[in-house]
Structure 1
Amino acid sequence: MTVLMWISVLALAAWLWLLLGQGFFWRTDVRLPSGGAPPEGGWPPVTVVVPARDEAEVLPDSLPTLLAQDYPGPARVLLVDDGSTDGTAEVARKLADEVPGGLPLSVHSPGAPQPGWTGKLWAVRHGMRLARTEPAGPDPEYLLLTDADIAHAPDSLRRLVGAARSARLDLVSQMARLRVVTGWERLIVPAFVYFFAQLYPFRWINRPAGRTAAAAGGCVLLRAQAAARAGLPDSIRGAVIDDVTLGRTVKRSGGRIWLGLADGVASVRPYSGLRPLWRMVSRSAYAQLRNNPLVLLGTVAGLALVYLAPPVTAALGSPVGGAAWAVMTLTYVPMLRYYRQPLWLAPLLPVTAALYLAMTVDSAVQHYRGRGAAWKGRTYS
């Protein structure tokens, strides 16, 4: 056998394994469980915690959807302004005045994060403490941790709590539907969720006895008792990839977790070109590899074999390489349908993978230049 044939066979074998043995990651039917009837004893109190840093631009599209939730039980929203310089707090207060009869909103600022904390988790810590200590009703049974760029359908909170209660879950997380409008968003965003599901298959995460664990930081409903048992957020205070670390910590502490794709939870953050999308991926890609150069080399080699070798070997005349490319293409189709994108983008997945490979290498370069995990004016080691 020639080298070309060996590479083609290895790539096809990898894709057959991914197709059948990686938790059916490519399927998009893992959706929020039905909550059924109202919980016994009534709907529990919930506090929504929104960490926000320089989010004045997106708040008008997201915050009113939280304030307008039709949740039947007691609920309130705490927006924690993490050192914004664009008037985020003022915009939030103004929006609350424009939603009559909505959930009560209070805006707070925790000050600069202490050493060892990321800014987002410092803000979450402040919000979780206020949820217990601020005199505004009973202590919450659940905390909804949601990003400032996330818009929620009117029944989102009710469905999250209903699912958590009916399935006895300690953490319920939904992967928000990201915005896909521009050409770069079409090329990169659906693949972002596809690759995430490949790394953390939702079916494996949702097995109580399984070891795989993760969450999606844009929408996490967390039982307060589970948070206390896991020592959150102090136990993960320095995590750059905080959502995955949060899910892992809750599961390791004995909690039951669930993660799936969202129907009524969506990000409103625009990505006007390649540069902001590049930053979104590269800021945490090397941290995902534990900042390990050997793992980086293995990842680059693996991405090249799995995603780049099939089209290259197919172009050189290998039918086996063409078969691997076909399997790859078919696994990407469900995600494109979920994002309502044209299916002709599916064969272009190797192009997107090449971009992600470059972003990962750039993430490592920025790390060794002392600019790793940079986000909104902050850099974390």
Structure 2
Amino acid sequence: MSAIAWIAVASLAAWLWLLLGQGFFWRTDVRLPPHEGPDPEDWPPVCVVVPARDEAAVLPGSLPSLLAQDYPGRAEVFLVDDGSRDGTGEVARALARRHGGLPLTVAASPGEPPAGWTGKLWAVRHGIGLARGRAPEYLLLTDADIAHGPDSLRRLVAAARAGGFDLVSQMARLRVESPWERLVVPAFVYFFAQLYPFRWIGRRGGRTAAAAGGCVLLRTEAAERARIPDAVRHAVIDDVALARAVKRSGGHLWLGLAERVDSVRPYPRLRDLWRMVSRSAYAQLRHQPLLLIGTVAGLAVVYLAPPAALVAGSAAGDAAAALAGGLAWLVMTATYVPMLRYYRQPLWLAPLLPCTALLYLLMTVDSAVQHHRGRGAAWKGRTYARPDIVGDEGEAVPGGG
């Protein structure tokens, strides 16, 4: 066989393994179970912690949904204004006066984060410190751009108690309205699930750990045992780092797709999406050039080779290359269909996944270039260089700051 045929066969073999051997990552049925049976007799107290930096534009679409939670127990919201310059705190207070609902405390973050801390986690630390004064059994860590259905908190707590989970996280449904969002956003969640299959995360004793930072219900006792957030204070990609810390300390995790938890943050232009992905892509590779090279090669073989082999093989009369490339592309397309259906997107986008993968490849390379230029992970006016002590980190989801 020709060299391109061998590459196409390797890609097909990789896709068959991904289809059957990677935790059925492509399925979208890992959701919070319907809340059945009697409610817990004693609903535990919960404190909601919201770090917010320059979020005045998105708070009207998210904060009222938190304040309107239909939760039978005691719950209150702590929003930490992380040095905002757009009146985030004032907007939050005005929304609370207008909409009422759960008690809201707006607190200012205690200055710029010290060396070794990201801004978001420094704000989370302050919020958790305030919340501990209320002795909550659970903490809901949620981002300022996340809107929750009215029963969101009730269902999270019910699932945590019924399953004995120390951490329950939902991958918020991201906004998909502009053409670039339609092309890039569903693939973002698809790639995340491929790296961290949701079914594996919920296994007791399993090694896979991940969370989605926009919506994390965390048992307070588990947070203290895992030293959250101090243990992950340097993590640019904080959600998976947090989940790994909880699992290492003996915690039981659950992560799935959300039904009524949505991000209201827009990413209308390719530049917006590019910045969101590239700010942390190289951190996912632990700032290692060899891992970058391996990732680029892997993306090329798995995602780019199938259509290239199909076209080149057809043009050159190489039946083996064309057949293997076409089959690999078909399997790839089929695995992407469930995610497009979850996002209510047209299925003709599925064969375009190689184009999206190429964009992610270029974003990852750009992330490495920016890091080696000394710009690190830049977000909302802050730049984070490589930490002196590199911890466990994983892929990011939008909304962090």
Give the TM-score taking structure 2 as reference length: 0.93
Is the contact between residue 39 and residue 165 of structure 1 (CA under 8 Å) also seen in structure 2? no
Deviation at 1:372, TM superposition (A): 1.7
CA RMSD, aligned part only? 0.8
Note the 1:189-338 alignment, pairs <5 A. 189-316=185-312, 317=314, 318-338=322-342
1:357 and 2:361 equivalent? yes
Cα deviation code 1:70-129 (max 9, x no counterpart): 0000000000000000000000000000113x0000100122111110000000000000
Q: Give the letter for the 1:5 counterpart.
A: A
1:346 and 2:346 equivalent? no
1:366 and 2:370 equivalent? yes
* Residue ranges of structure 2 left out of the alignment (5+ in a row): 315-321, 386-401
Deviation at 1:36, TM superposition (A): 3.4
Distance 1:300 1:262 in 2: 30
Deviation at 1:34, TM superposition (A): 3.7
Q: Give the letter for the 1:251 counterpart.
A: K
Query: Which runs of 4 or more aligned residues in structure 1 lie more than 6 Å from their structure 2 counterparts after TM superposition?
Result: none
Deviation at 1:37, TM superposition (A): 4.0
Q: Secondary structure at the match of 2:364?
A: helix
Deviation at 1:208, TM superposition (A): 1.1
* Residue ranges of structure 1 left out of the alignment (5+ in a row): none
State the partner residue of 1:20. 20
Distance 2:12 2:3 in 1: 14
State the partner residue of 2:157. 161
State the partner residue of 1:54. 54
Deviation at 1:272, TM superposition (A): 1.9
State the partner residue of 1:103. 102
State the partner residue of 1:149. 145
Deviation at 1:40, TM superposition (A): 4.3
Cα deviation code 1:142-179 (max 9, x no counterpart): 00000000000000000000000111100000000000
Moved more, 350-359 or 317-326: 317-326
Distance 1:56 1:91 in 2: 6
Deviation at 1:52, TM superposition (A): 0.1
TM-aligned CA distance change 1:35 to 1:254, over 3 Å: farther
Distance 1:361 1:311 in 2: 22
Distance 2:159 2:180 in 1: 35
Deviation at 1:33, TM superposition (A): 2.8
State the partner residue of 2:398. none
Is the contact between residue 55 and residue 88 of structure 2 (CA under 8 Å) also seen in structure 1? yes
User: How many aligned residue pairs are there?
Assistant: 376
Q: Secondary structure at the match of 1:145?
A: strand
Q: Give the letter for the 1:341 counterpart.
A: Q
State the partner residue of 2:126. 126
Is the contact between residue 79 and residue 104 of structure 2 (CA under 8 Å) also seen in structure 1? yes
Cα deviation code 1:309-341 (max 9, x no counterpart): 000000112111000000000000000000000
State the partner residue of 1:33. 33
Q: Secondary structure at the match of 2:50?
A: strand
TM-aligned CA distance change 1:39 to 1:168, over 3 Å: farther
Distance 2:224 2:269 in 1: 41
Is the contact between residue 36 and residue 162 of structure 1 (CA under 8 Å) also seen in structure 2? no
Q: Give the letter for the 2:73 counterpart.
A: G
Q: Secondary structure at the match of 2:377?
A: coil
Is the contact between residue 47 and residue 138 of structure 2 (CA under 8 Å) also seen in structure 1? yes
Moved more, 38-47 or 52-61: 38-47
Distance 2:41 2:336 in 1: 44
Cα deviation code 1:163-210 (max 9, x no counterpart): 001111000000000000000000000000000000000011111111
Give the TM-score taking structure 1 as reference length: 0.98
Is the contact between residue 31 and residue 258 of structure 2 (CA under 8 Å) also seen in structure 1? yes
Is the contact between residue 291 and residue 364 of structure 1 (CA under 8 Å) also seen in structure 2? yes
Distance 1:68 1:249 in 2: 31
Q: Give the letter for the 1:118 counterpart.
A: T
TM-aligned CA distance change 1:109 to 1:182, over 3 Å: same
1:113 and 2:113 equivalent? yes
